[in-house]
C-alpha cells in the first residue's frame, strides 16, 4: 500500500514539474538543463562563450542568455551592443564584439576608411560596456597578392591600433579557412588571411600588445593542422579562441576529428585566460549539442 502511495506521489510531482516548465515557456529539455549549473558545476578552468549567430535560428538574445547562464557559460559574443544589457541582466558578458565582416578588410586600402570607422565605433562601445575584444579581418583577395595584402593590413591596422590601445581594447584578427566551399559559413574561399602564420606575421609587424589573433580551432585544423603546437608557439598572440567540429562545422562530438579536451588542456598549459567561443552550427537539438560541447571543453 505504501509503495503504491509513494508511486502515485512521484507521478504527481513529475507532472507538476513538467507543467511548471511548460508554464514558464520552456521546453522540457531546457527545464532539465537548468540543473546543470547546480548539480554538475563546471570546473571553470576554461572561460566559455557562445557565439550568437550560430543559435539565432533557435533563440533570441534573451533565450540565448538564459541557456548560457544555465549551462555555466559566461558570455554571449558577436552580438550588437544594444544586447549587452540583456547579457548583464543574466550575469554574462560579451567576450568579443563584431565589426566590419570578413569580406571587406584591411588588405585593400579602398576599405580602410570604412573598416576604421566601424572599428572606432566598436572600440567606443567596448570601452563603455566593459568588453575587451573586437574582431577584425584581412578581407578577400580579389586579385591582391598575399605580399601586398599583408603590407596593406599592417599599414591599415596601424591607423586604428593606437585608438584601441588608448581605450584598452584588443583587436583580434581572425584566420579563416578558404578550403571548404560547401556553405557560406563553413568556409570562405578567397579570404586572404587563411593561414595562421600569415596572420601572425601581420600581428608581429604591427607590434602592439593590443593586436591579437583570433585562433579559430576549426579553421586552423582545416588549413594548417598541428593545432596544439601552434597554440604553444603563438601563445603570446592569442586573444580569443573559437571551436567547431571538423569536418562540417557541427557539434563537438564523436563524428568529428578534433580532440578538444587535449586542446583545452594545452590552452591551460600556456596560461590562456581569455574566452573559448562555441561557434558550431547545430545539426540536432541545440541545447544538447551546446551542453555536450561545454562539458567536453570543461577540463
| Strand ordering across the sheet containing 211-216 | 75-77, 47-51, 275-278, 238-243, 211-216, 170-174, 133-136
Of residues 2 and 39, the one with the higher pLDDT is 39
Residue 29 inside a domain? The answer is: no
Residue 17 inside a domain? The answer is: no
Residue 174 inside a domain? The answer is: yes
Taking 80 as the threshold, does the pLDDT of residue 2 lie above it? no
Residue 18 binned pLDDT confidence (cut-offs 50, 70, 90): very low
Q: Which CATH number goes with the domain that contains 272?
A: 3.20.20.150
Other C-beta atoms closer than 10 Å to the C-beta of 110 total 9
For 190-203, give the DSSP string: TBS--SHHHHHHHH
Which of 19-23, 65-69, 70-74, 165-169 shows the lowest mean pLDDT across its residues?
19-23
Residue 38 inside a domain? The answer is: no
Which of 2-11, 107-116, 220-229, 241-250 shows the lowest mean pLDDT across its residues?
2-11
Let me know: does 158 contact 211? Beta carbons within 8 Å: no
For 76-131, the pLDDT digits (tens) are 999 999 999 999 999 999 999 999 999 999 999 999 999 999 999 999 999 999 99
pTM value is 0.88
Number of domains into which the chain is organized: 1
For 35-75, the pLDDT digits (tens) are 344 347 899 999 999 999 999 999 999 999 999 999 999 99
Question: Known catalytic residues?
Answer: 174, 279
Taking 50 as the threshold, does the pLDDT of residue 7 lie above it? no
Residues 75 and 239: their CA atoms lie apart, in Å, by 15
Residue 151 inside a domain? The answer is: yes
Domain boundaries, position 53: 48-297
Tell me what pLDDT residue 40 has.
73
Amino acid at each position: 500500500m505504501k509503495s503504491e502511495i509513494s508511486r502515485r506521489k512521484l507521478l504527481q510531482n513529475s507532472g507538476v514539474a513538467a507543467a511548471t516548465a511548460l508554464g514558464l515557456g520552456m521546453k522540457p529539455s531546457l527545464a532539465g538543463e537548468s540543473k546543470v549549473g547546480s548539480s554538475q558545476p563546471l570546473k571553470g578552468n576554461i572561460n566559455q562563450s557562445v557565439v550568437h549567430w550560430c543559435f539565432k535560428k533557435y533563440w533570441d538574445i534573451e533565450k540565448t542568455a538564459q541557456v548560457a547562464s544555465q549551462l555555466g557559460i559566461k558570455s554571449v559574443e558577436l552580438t550588437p551592443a544594444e544586447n549587452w544589457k540583456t547579457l548583464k541582466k543574466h550575469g554574462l558578458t560579451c567576450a568579443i564584439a563584431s565589426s566590419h565582416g570578413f569580406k571587406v578588410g584591411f588588405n585593400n586600402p579602398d576599405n580602410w576608411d570604412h573598416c576604421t570607422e566601424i572599428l572606432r565605433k566598436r572600440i567606443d562601445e567596448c570601452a563603455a560596456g566593459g568588453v575587451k575584444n573586437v574582431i577584425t579581418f584581412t578581407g578577400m583577395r580579389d586579385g591582391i597578392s598575399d605580399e601586398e595584402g599583408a603590407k596593406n593590413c599592417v599599414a591599415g591596422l596601424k591607423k586604428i591600433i593606437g585608438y584601441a590601445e588608448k581605450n584598452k581594447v584588443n583587436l583580434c584578427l581572425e584566420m579563416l579557412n578558404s578550403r571548404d566551399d560547401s556553405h557560406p559559413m563553413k568556409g570562405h574561399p578567397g579570404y586572404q588571411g587563411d593561414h595562421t602564420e600569415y596572420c601572425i606575421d601581420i600581428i608581429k609587424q604591427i607590434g602592439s600588445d593590443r593586436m591579437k589573433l583570433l585562433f579559430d580551432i576549426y579553421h586552423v585544423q582545416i588549413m594548417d593542422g598541428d593545432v596544439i603546437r601552434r597554440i604553444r608557439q603563438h601563445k603570446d598572440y592569442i586573444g580569443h579562441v573559437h571551436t567547431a567540429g571538423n569536418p562540417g562545422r557541427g557539434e563537438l562530438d564523436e563524428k568529428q576529428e578534433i580532440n578538444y579536451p587535449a586542446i583545452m588542456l594545452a590552452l591551460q598549459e600556456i596560461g590562456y585566460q581569455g574566452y573559448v567561443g562555441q561557434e558550431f552550427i547545430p545539426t540536432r537539438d541545440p541545447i544538447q549539442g551546446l551542453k555536450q560541447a561545454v562539458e567536453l571543453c570543461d577540463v
